[in-house]
Amino acid sequence: MNLAQLQQTFREWLVSASDASAQLLGDDHAGLAVYQNNYRAQLVGCLEQAFPNLRRWLGEEAFLAASITHIDRHPPHAWTLDAYPEGFYATLRDVFPRNPDVHELAWIESALNEAFVAADALPLTPQALVGLDWDTAVLQLSPSLRCHGLTTNAEAVWSALWQDVPAPEAVMLAQPGGLLVWRRQFTSRLRQVDAQELQALQHVQADGSFAGLCEWLVQRLGEEAGVIQAGEYLAGWLGSELIVGVSHV
Amino acid sequence: MPISNPHFSGYGLGLRKEHYGDFLETSVAVDFVEVISENFMVAGGQPRHILRQVRERYPVALHGVSMSIGTAEGLDMDYLLRLKSLVDEVEPLFVSDHLSWSRSGGFNAHDLLPVPYTDEALARVCANIHQAQDVLGRTLLFENPSSYLAFEGASMTEWEFIGAMAKRTGCELLLDVNNVFVSASNHGFDALAFLEGLPAERVRQVHLAGHSQGRGLLIDSHDSPVCSGVWALYAHAITRLGPVATMIERDDEIPPLAELLHELALARTLGAKR
């Protein structure tokens, strides 16, 4: 067996723990078991660390079962373990198909982890807006910003778990909304918004055009209300340090 | 071939989250700190900010776990370029990784898997070290790992493999004394023979750590103080080495900093006696 074949066989041992791969590696069960245990314990630990509040919400047993399912289905590929939790969301959708609260809690924790190490960017200062031509202004949002649709009270559940107070029961929202996750300086933030603000931000994420945002809001709300709403969103996003740059088309 | 790393004689600790406050807010009596490279190979945020602050106060060694220098299929260029970006920013004392592999066919085990000590593996490891040193533009240190498995067909001992690797590539060595102790126990070789067989002039850094007892095997768990057997092996090793950077590694069951500094004082005492 050459080096490449040996490493492929070792990979098969770690992923499947098959007798055939163990035999090819010399059948040293004690040694092989150490590597098998290290591999699985490392990945379980990675998921536990990435989803602490989801783990509490699901309970130890259910979280571990979902983790094992994920590890069996999706061996890691990236050089960094930070990438491994990203795929857990899809596994949870399969394992808990009727629990959007679980999916949305997983999205929250995954987005918070990503935002924590996203690229640095200084928030836009009010001085940068002086004399700006709003018709051609292109807004640049924080590289840490993540947006997602929200159908349940997952934000309230996550916040209660994070504060270590009794969490409310999971319920569907009367109206779908949205979730924003981003980082202010070195602290990750989570905010629930209504569906309109979520779509407005997604418009800006797509092309950055402030004029385009105004046009979209005017179509929805009418001339006066649309422009006022655009101004209010802009002020709120600036205050929250969501906007980090502006340029012109 | 890149220029050799200068000798650095001093005593340090691995920087862990539990002690960030100590290192940022007080003057900790260490000569250098070592960080896990991959924890800081991120785009931004608090980790990079903390590392910049620590770097202003202490020399920093970068210690990686994901280079996979023993992989049969060549190194991951994305990984190397990200590491280079960190190296360029930190200007570290040393850049090190392990004589092990973790990547195969797009799979990454995130563990330090054993390399067979064969001529084929030696050629592959050396080619990978040449590539890494070329990309990073500096001489790297490679650490002897703990291992729990020996492959049939080995044509040399671990220390012969490491000696040949260093000779062919010009790389330098990070001697993990605990790993020698653990592997010697697990595979039944003589730890002193390992130390005697190692090219001592290539060693730039020394790791000391604790281990635990598994089912018939010692496990390199880094969750306990350095044991008396490892201290004795360290005392023997430093009689053969030139000036080196010695440090305590603790990754689990992390105690208050004072306890680790107490352990480090033992290393200083032994170092002063040699």
pLDDT 10s digits, B57-86 = 999 999 999 999 999 999 999 999 999 999
Residue B267 confidence (pLDDT) above 90: yes
Question: Does B151 contact A at CB distance below 8 Å?
Answer: yes
- Measured between CB atoms, which of A35, A42, A116 is closest to B46? A116
Residue A249 confidence (pLDDT) above 80: no
Q: Which residues lie below 8 Å from residue B137, measured CB to CB, with a gap of 6+?
A: B2, B84
Cβ–Cβ < 8 Å for A182, A144: yes
C-alpha dist (Å) from residue B72 to A9, B77, B114, B115, B122 = 13, 14, 12, 10, 11
Cβ–Cβ < 8 Å for A148, A107: yes
Taking phi over 0 as left and psi of -120 to 50 as alpha, with beta for the rest, B27 belongs to beta
Listing DSSP states for A184-211 in one string gives ETTEEEEEEEEHHHHHHHHHHHHH-BHH
Query: Rounded to the nearest 5°, which phi and psi values hold at A116?
Result: -60, -35
Instruction: Return the CATH fold of B10-273.
Output: TIM Barrel (3.20.20)
Cβ–Cβ < 8 Å for B32, B58: yes
Q: Which residues lie below 8 Å from residue B127, measured CB to CB, with a gap of 6+?
A: B74
ipTM attached to this prediction: 0.94
C-alpha dist (Å) from residue B255 to A26, A211, B247, B260 = 39, 57, 15, 7
Q: Which sign, positive or negative, has the C-alpha torsion B91, B164, A8, A67?
A: negative
Query: Residue B178's pLDDT band (boundaries 50, 70, 90)?
Result: very high
Contact A116 B45 (CB under 8 A): yes
Cβ–Cβ < 8 Å for B86, B40: yes
pLDDT 10s digits, A27-65 = 899 999 999 999 999 999 999 999 999 999 999 999 999
On chain A, the residues whose CB falls within 8 A of the CB of B38 are 79-81
3-class DSSP state for residue A228? Answer: helix
pLDDT 10s digits, B139-174 = 999 999 999 999 989 999 999 999 999 999 999 999
What mean pLDDT comes out for the span A12-26?
95
Query: Rounded to the nearest 5°, which phi and psi values hold at B147?
Result: -140, 155
Contact B72 A11 (CB under 8 A): no
Domain boundaries of chain B, sorted by first residue: 10-273
Distance CA B245, CA B258 (A): 20
- At residue B118's C-alpha, the angle toward residues B195 and B111, to 5°, is 75
Question: Does B117 contact A at CB distance below 8 Å?
Answer: no
Residue B6: CB atoms within 10 A of its CB come to 9
Cβ–Cβ < 8 Å for A56, A157: no
Token output for A3: 């080096």
The residue of A38, A79, A183 whose CB has the most chain B CBs within 10 angstroms, and thus the best one to mutate to test that interface, is A79
Q: Given this model, what pLDDT does residue A35 score?
A: 97
Task: Kindly report the pTM of this predicted structure.
Answer: 0.94
Question: Does B107 contact A at CB distance below 8 Å?
Answer: yes
Quote the mean pLDDT of chain B.
96
Residue B1 confidence (pLDDT) above 80: no
